[in-house]
């Protein structure tokens, strides 16, 4: 059924690293919802696979000793959506991954797979960018952490060093990134289920204690460029501003400065630019309301 040369199963991170060093051409497989589809299509036919799916230590959401939210790379989308830590501190991530594919895909698909595939339309990616997530990689030389922005090199390529036997072991959201922040994700797709995003937009804000000022605003898109991206010009418009309708308008209009969507069979560049503006406005309004603010 699947044209696979060999399947090696790792029971621990150390075993996964050793297998990767021993079989440098082999591909990592987690839930397999990308890998097996590609293999069946013949794109990865005849490959060796290293399954990390049995490494239970890579599952679950915790708060670590530095107060980061730590999401193990094998944590499934359904787990993330139902997790009490995510619901309390970063509910928007649970809502974003709840828009992936179908219930079956959300049960098998992992956050590690969704980021390691390097795909710009990945439903977790814009929210992880907007919350300044840190990617943790573990290899023969130990643990390496890098900002998610630096993890994405180009479309379909991320910074995982096969020659060092690396696998992604966790995604961290630092306390400074989630404390008192509230966000909203909008996925625009051609239909509601089993659909890859035509555009994804994630916004979050932290308001001043009296709710009169946006202390910090972050916005990121998927499919607005070859890799997921932040939009600094719009963020600069909102940072320190009063939450008003005029600000929301200016914020939406500013996103055009930084995004660079392309024409594809799903949508034209012009259409993506058009909806990007509207999605930014709606997601900012919703984030302000979730943070307890009011729009003047
Ligand atoms: C029908 C269908 C619908 C889908 N709909 C959506 C959707 O709406 N939104 C969306 O975002 N995605 C969607 N997907 C894509 C897919 O489900 C996700 O990208 C999922 O997160 C992949 O996770 P996985 O564990 O199955 O990854 P896998 O298929 O196992 O791996 C994906 C890639 O990541 C690498 N990898 C995985 N984990 C690690 C790790 N820990 N360390 C290093 N490398 C690793 C693999 O080598 C591979 O290159 C859909 C897929 C299908 C089949």
Indicate whether residue 30 lines ligand 1 (CB < 6 A): yes
Segment 79-108, tens digit of pLDDT: 999 999 999 999 999 999 999 999 999 999
CATH of domain 56-176: 3.30.465.10
Instruction: Delimit the CATH 3.30.390.50 region(s) of the chain.
Output: 180-290
Indicate whether residue 35 lines ligand 1 (CB < 6 A): yes
Nearest to 217 by CA among 137, 285, 120, 265: 285
CA of 67 to the centre of ligand 1 (A): 28
Band of residue 43 on the pLDDT scale cut at 50, 70, 90: confident
Residue with tokens 């956050």: 111
**Percentage with pLDDT > 70 across the chain:** 100
Instruction: Delimit the CATH 3.30.465.10 region(s) of the chain.
Output: 56-176
Segment 149-175, tens digit of pLDDT: 999 999 999 999 999 999 999 999 999
Segment 118-130, tens digit of pLDDT: 999 999 999 999 9
Nearest to 257 by CA among 244, 281, 276, 271: 276
CA of 50 to the centre of ligand 1 (A): 15
Q: Which fold has domain 4-51?
A: 3.30.43
pLDDT for the residue 296:
86
pLDDT for the residue 124:
98
Q: Which fold has domain 180-290?
A: Enolase-like; domain 1 (3.30.390)
For ligand 1, what atom is nearest to the CA of residue 123?
11
Instruction: Delimit the CATH 3.30.43.10 region(s) of the chain.
Output: 4-51
262: pLDDT strictly greater than 80: yes
193: pLDDT strictly greater than 90: no
131: pLDDT strictly greater than 90: yes
CA of 192 to the centre of ligand 1 (A): 19
Band of residue 42 on the pLDDT scale cut at 50, 70, 90: confident
CA dist., res. 9 & res. 58, Å (int): 14
What's the whole-number mean pLDDT along residues 169-194?
Answer: 93
């Amino acid at each position: 059924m699947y044209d696979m040369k060999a399947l090696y199963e790792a029971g621990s991170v150390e075993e996964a690293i050793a297998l990767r060093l021993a079989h440098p051409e082999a591909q990592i497989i987690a839930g397999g919802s990308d890998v097996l589809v590609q293999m069946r299509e013949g794109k990865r036919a005849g490959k060796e696979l290293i399954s990390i799916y049995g490494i239970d230590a890579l599952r679950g959401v915790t708060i670590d000793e530095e107060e980061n939210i730590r999401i193990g790379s094998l944590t499934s989308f359904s787990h993330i959506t139902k997790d009490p830590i995510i619901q309390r501190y970063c509910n928007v991530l649970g809502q974003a991954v709840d828009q992936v594919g179908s219930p079956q895909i959300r049960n098998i698909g992992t956050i590690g797979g969704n980021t390691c595939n390097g795909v710009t339309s990945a439903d977790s990616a814009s929210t992880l960018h907007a919350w300044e997530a840190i990617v943790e990689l573990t290899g023969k030389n130990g643990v390496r952490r890098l900002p998610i922005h630096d993890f994405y090199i180009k479309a379909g390529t991320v910074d995982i060093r096969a020659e060092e036997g690396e696998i992604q072991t966790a995604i961290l959201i630092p306390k400074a990134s989630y404390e008192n922040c509230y966000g909203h994700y909008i996925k625009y797709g051609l239909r509601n289920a089993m659909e890859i995003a035509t555009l994804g937009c994630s916004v979050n804000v932290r308001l001043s204690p009296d709710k009169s000022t946006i202390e910090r605003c972050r916005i990121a898109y998927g499919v607005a460029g070859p890799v997921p991206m932040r939009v600094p010009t719009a963020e600069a418009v909102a940072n320190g501003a009063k939450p008003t309708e005029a600000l929301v308008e200016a914020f939406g209009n500013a996103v055009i400065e930084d995004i660079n969507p392309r024409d594809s069979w799903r949508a034209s560049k012009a259409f993506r630019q058009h909806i990007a503006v509207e999605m930014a406005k709606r997601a900012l309004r919703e984030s302000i309301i979730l943070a307890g603010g009011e729009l003047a």
